Structure 1
Amino acid sequence: MTQPSLSLVDTDPAESAVDAIVIGLHSQPDEAGTLLPASGAESITAAFDGKLISTLALLGATGAAGEVTKLATLGTIAAPLLVAVGLGAEPDGPAPDLETLRRGAGAAVRALAGSATVVLALPVPDDADAPPVLRAVLEGALLGGYRFAGYKTKPQKGRRDPVAELRLHVPDAADEAAAAELRRAEVVAKAVRQSRDWVNTPPNVQRPADLADQVAAAATEVGLGVEVLDFEQLKAGGYGGIVAVGQGSEAPPRLVKLTYTPANVTSPKRISLVGKGITFDTGGVSIKPAAGMWEMKSDMAGAAAVAATMIAIAQLKPGVAVSGYLAIAENMPSGASYRPGDVITMYGGKRVEVFNTDAEGRMVLADAIVRACEDGTDYLFETSTLTGGQVVALGKRIAGLMGSDEATALVEAAGKAVGEPAWRMPLPDDVRKGMESEIADICQTNANLDRAGHMLQGGVFLREFVAEGVEWAHIDIAGPGYHTGEANGYWTKGGTGIPVRTFLHLVDELS
């Protein structure tokens, strides 16, 4: 679906002749015991002659975060429809909670599907706190209205088109800082939506070569350097992990490298982003249960996020050098599949004893990590839907985070800033001890087939392939990368686009 057009306005929201106006509503009562409208709604509240809040309360509005209440204005203001979105308690500080604003804007815009033009009169301060608030509202609004185009042959009854035009009310529409945030939000949201599109695409339509070709075409269009290694080149180059996982499928694997070099910057910092791109994961010979296996089309969410991030970087033009590595394969059972008990020689020469072919992500990622370190990097951030252990430990909203101190601290701070939380986990020595092999350098999983500390095993394994001196972080998005429930906030069902915004925030910080 096409992304809505976006603009800033500073005209009176009550006089805006659009399809709908969105205001914020706080949950705690004011001195008179009524709900409290958020800043930005002053002229609209006045137009209703003091009856707006009591009317919304009669309709059941409570101001709870993310709650959406619709009210026909009957000519009271220029727009025929008013939407009040709950923002929870009024903030103690000068700026509202950013994640609450993101989710509120997303929920409101999604509820207004079928409306052509919408004005968001949400709280945006007129001071130094404005840029992060603007960023939160704009990104939430653009992402909440996302819908995957799909493959229906007939129009779905009652299905309404997403909002086509969004206008955000700000104190000064001509402000250059606000305009810069708008431009950035358009690029960032488009990248997240592209990542979601790739994740939501059916696996028969998007096999390894298809994904590699789509990424290469999109990257070339924005001026990134592109290198694609096919199956024969991977075999000749010694990429044993990617070859082993991909050889069981009739659709052979790929390794894609995308490169951005800043102009007029001497000796820039070097950042590598690495993503797991398993376009479908059956588990291979260690086959998964059938229930829910269809969700394994999302096992390339890490690669999708890296590719989308690189495309955004080419447009945002930060002052650091960034390379993206996408390890793409399809993990299928066949007579050519790799097996439990195999010993695989990885890129760089380290040998791995395989115990479970369903632990394929770490196999392809290890090759990509070694290649990234070989090419030269200061920071390496890798993301993948790696382990069910992440979901068990941290649920569907919080990513697992492992790695070196500086890199993990950066990821943790970036995730907190953009609403993509990650929780740091340890890399214990006893987990590494349990992965000793009698015949190779390391076992792919715990040698006793014990799933205890399964998420940690993935991090411990990947650490073995990071070059000395490289700051690195592993972000396990097995839960947050794909949303199976009903839409809420700016998340829609399917791919979430995590951690594109975290990566872009990291790049900003390191710039």
Structure 2
Amino acid sequence: MTALTLSTAAAPGLRADAIVIGVAKGVKGPIVAPGSEPVDQAYDGRLAGVLETLGATGAEGEVTKLPAPAGFKAPLVLAVGLGAEPEKDASYDAEALRRAAGVAARALTGSKKAAFALPLTDAGDVGAVAEGVVLGAYSFDAYKQNGADARAKNAKAPLAEAALLGGKPRDAAHKAALARATAVGEELNRARDLINMPPNDLDPEAFATLAQTAAKEHGIKVQVLDEKALAKGGYGGILGVGGGSAAAPRLVKLSYTSSKADKHLAFVGKGITYDSGGISLKPAGHNETMKCDMSGAAAVFAAVVAAARLGLEVNVTGWLALAENMPSGTATRPGDVLRMFSGKTVEVLNTDAEGRLVLADALWAASQEKPDAIVDVATLTGAMMLALGSRTFGVMANDDAFRTTVYEAAEEVGEPAWPMPLPEHLRKGMDSATADIANMGERMGGGLVAGLFLREFVGEGITWAHLDIAGPAFNEGGPFGYTPKGGTGTAVRTLVRLAELTAAGELG
């Protein structure tokens, strides 16, 4: 983990491997951003021209390296693009700062310490830069030769320490912003680690064990239902999905409570630790990244722990619906009917539409506690990826105002999202002649159909939202901003923000 500090030191006298400055894209060329004045002065006020000569434009994500001026104790200046220059009297957007800090942290892999002289006008900027550093410095190398134990000797180790110049160590708001960024960033990286773990090491039982360990460390109550308890309780959806695997399913309940709380949020996560499609087997080329099908459960797990670390004045319950979807002689078949925890029966028309089955049981379990709101998170449908691409998740809800709140919370923390409808006419396509409902409906609008299916298992009168993170949960391309290749930890920050809004009495 990258150690973060606030510093009032001047850039020239700071011992570090690099000084990070910001450069914006102006109308007539690159513009040196606030925070880098001491560096610019050392170049006699000509730093922008030097950067332009080196090809810098200030475009977002751009990195330019140049030798530090004479008299600096750091040998390197790293200029990172912030994108378009803000309008007059406006400050830099928090997400632009977050992404720039992440790009710089990635570019400084192998460095021990860097000083970040990016624009810091208030505590929000401190939090954004700090979060970008923690997220950008992430790496997953536990399965490489010598593994993480050799990081200290590895030239490719992540940035070890970052000092935020211009931060105020004695300012309560700045200190709180740094602490929040550290907690949220580290828990988001925990989610990334889980998503990146190979499925032979992270089956439902192993996931449950990791959750128990973290819960004990952070004062969170935990309850784990194994296959016997699930059978006794009538959790037909989770058992049906997990029935084909030698690794038995689990339902994990994590409960963070605050003595000062009068509101209760429930988060529900899809945790398919590997998804082969079951009997409805996925074709070749579609299996290789299916270890990421537990990204929703990873996000819920991380968010509950983050809420505990932050001491938020809200009760948060996380439900992790864990199963491995495999084909075998004991697997659920297309045409089978499952009796769910709610008592409803579901005709399974496609065993690769399994996420909605485990979520249905967990949603009904969460509903029994009558929380003020339920939010589920799942890599649920390829249809949502077709609709919104690989970087944006869909938000559906049974309440338009709550859907807007969730969408705005996601946008606020830098997680691209888009509100989606739940058209009533699509519900008819899931009518079954055999059971109460089928797990498949019309092909067109498949992501919305899945949302309508889940709505059937939310308790009456409970506000609910569904986040389909199938697109952004796993990055198969190259890293960008503070987002690495592989597991991204999408939705962790949105869930934490919803918990903060609830604690502040701002969630309708």
**Mapped contact 2:278–2:352 kept (Cα < 8 A):** yes
Aligned partner (choices 7, 10, 16) of residue 8 of structure 2: 10
Shift of 1:270: 1.0
Match of 2:266, as an amino acid? S
Listed one character per residue, the Cα deviations across residues 200-224 of structure 1 (whole Å, up to 9, x for unaligned) are 0000011110111111111111110
Aligned partner (choices 306, 312, 319) of residue 313 of structure 2: 319
Alpha-carbon distance in 2 for matches of 1:164, 1:191: 17
Listed one character per residue, the Cα deviations across residues 223-276 of structure 1 (whole Å, up to 9, x for unaligned) are 1000000001101100000000001000000000000110244xx111000000
Aligned sequence identity (%): 48
Aligned partner (choices 114, 120, 123) of residue 124 of structure 1: 120
Alpha-carbon distance in 2 for matches of 1:109, 1:357: 42
Q: Partner of 1:82 in structure 2?
A: 77
Q: Partner of 1:63 in structure 2?
A: 58
**Mapped contact 2:191–2:302 kept (Cα < 8 A):** yes
Q: Partner of 1:53 in structure 2?
A: 48
Q: Which 10-residue stretch deviates more, 153-162 or 207-216?
A: 153-162
Matches within 5 A, 1:454-465: 454-465=446-457
Aligned partner (choices 12, 21, 40) of residue 19 of structure 2: 21
Shift of 1:473: 0.3
**Mapped contact 1:25–1:87 kept (Cα < 8 A):** yes
**Mapped contact 2:42–2:69 kept (Cα < 8 A):** no
**Mapped contact 1:379–1:407 kept (Cα < 8 A):** no
Q: Partner of 1:343 in structure 2?
A: 337
Shift of 1:150: 2.9
SS of the residue corresponding to residue 118 of structure 1 reads strand
TM-score (norm 1): 0.95
Shift of 1:312: 1.0
**Mapped contact 1:44–1:77 kept (Cα < 8 A):** no
Alpha-carbon distance in 2 for matches of 1:217, 1:47: 51
Shift of 1:74: 5.4
**Mapped contact 1:276–1:327 kept (Cα < 8 A):** yes
Q: Partner of 1:248 in structure 2?
A: 244
TM-score (norm 2): 0.95
Aligned partner (choices 480, 484, 494) of residue 472 of structure 2: 480
Q: Partner of 1:502 in structure 2?
A: 494
Verify: 1:201 aligned to 2:193, yes or no. Answer: no
SS of the residue corresponding to residue 474 of structure 1 reads strand
Aligned partner (choices 277, 282, 292) of residue 288 of structure 1: 282
Aligned residue pair count: 497
Q: Which 10-residue stretch deviates more, 158-167 or 172-181?
A: 158-167
Q: Partner of 1:442 in structure 2?
A: 437
Shift of 1:10: 1.2
Listed one character per residue, the Cα deviations across residues 174-217 of structure 1 (whole Å, up to 9, x for unaligned) are 21110011111111011000000000000001111011111111
Aligned partner (choices 406, 409, 431) of residue 411 of structure 1: 406
Alpha-carbon distance in 2 for matches of 1:139, 1:152: 26
Q: Which runs of 4+ in 1 moved over 4 A?
A: 154-159
Alpha-carbon distance in 1 for matches of 2:38, 2:426: 61
Match of 2:45, as an amino acid? G
**Mapped contact 2:43–2:69 kept (Cα < 8 A):** no
Alpha-carbon distance in 2 for matches of 1:34, 1:194: 40
Q: Partner of 2:102 in structure 1?
A: 106
Unaligned runs of 5+ in 2: 504-508
**Mapped contact 2:267–2:376 kept (Cα < 8 A):** yes
Alpha-carbon distance in 1 for matches of 2:98, 2:85: 15
SS of the residue corresponding to residue 113 of structure 1 reads coil
**Mapped contact 1:380–1:470 kept (Cα < 8 A):** yes
Q: Partner of 2:141 in structure 1?
A: 149
Alpha-carbon distance in 2 for matches of 1:111, 1:292: 32
Listed one character per residue, the Cα deviations across residues 336-384 of structure 1 (whole Å, up to 9, x for unaligned) are 0001111110001011111000000000000000000012211000000
Alpha-carbon distance in 1 for matches of 2:387, 2:112: 42
Unaligned runs of 5+ in 1: none
Listed one character per residue, the Cα deviations across residues 273-300 of structure 1 (whole Å, up to 9, x for unaligned) are 0000000000000000120412000000
Q: Partner of 2:354 in structure 1?
A: 360
